[in-house]
Amino acid sequence: MHPNETKIRDFYKNFGSRNSANLSEFYSEEVEFSDPVFPNLKGGAVSGMWAMLSERMDPNASIELVEASADTETGKAYWVAKYLFSKTGRQVQNHIRTEFSFKNGKVVKQKDRFPFWKWTRMALGMPGILLGWTPLVQGKVRSEAARNLEHYLRKKGISA
């Protein structure tokens, strides 16, 4: 097993056990992260996001790494997050595919992909079913997530 694959496996193990302190070691200082909810994070905001999500994760949440592979420069993961969305109390089972780029043994780029509309249907219920595909609802989810992260980073003294 390539050392970068081991790093990917350790990352999801730490995230699943809410050990966010070790998550920041995974990333380069110049890291760029993107997913449908947090589309353009850089630097400290990336590990800050994982710390925020870890702290706010419901006690019954689970993170399951289904597949992982990596070489010196790239890596892939397929993982499943099961949790209650705190705003609505609705159960979410999110299937996520991730691509990594490594430089000097650290992640410099991470892109998570999942069907945003499917997520809005699970997390928001009827509003997500009816309008979760629209830029209005997706934009609202992104802006609220960005505000939450900005507040968290400020509170923790993390520079983005």
Domains observed in the chain: 3-156 (3.10.450.50)
Q: Which residue has the tokens 């993390």?
A: 158
Name beta bridge partners: 112: 98
The pLDDT of residue 21: 78
Q: Which residue has the tokens 């790494």?
A: 65
CA angle 29–33–38, rounded 5-degree value: 130
Token output for 58 = 């419901």
Q: How far is CA 19 from the centre of its chain?
A: 14
The pLDDT of residue 15: 93
- Residue 22 is classified by DSSP as G
pLDDT of the chain along its 160 residues, tens only? Answer: 899 999 999 999 999 998 877 788 899 999 999 999 999 999 999 999 999 999 999 899 999 999 999 999 999 999 999 999 988 999 999 999 999 999 999 999 999 999 999 999 999 999 888 988 999 999 999 999 999 999 999 998 887 6
* Three state DSSP letters for 22-45: HHHHHEEEEEEEECCCCCCEECHH
Cross-sheet strand order for the sheet of 90-103: 41-42, 27-34, 106-113, 90-103, 74-85, 62-70
Cα separation, 33 vs 37, in Å, equals 11
Token output for 106 = 């650290």
Helix (H) or strand (E) holding 2: none
The pLDDT of residue 22: 78
Token output for 34 = 């993107």
Q: Which residue has the tokens 């997500």?
A: 128
CA angle 111–115–61, rounded 5-degree value: 80
Residue type for position 126: M
The pLDDT of residue 94: 97
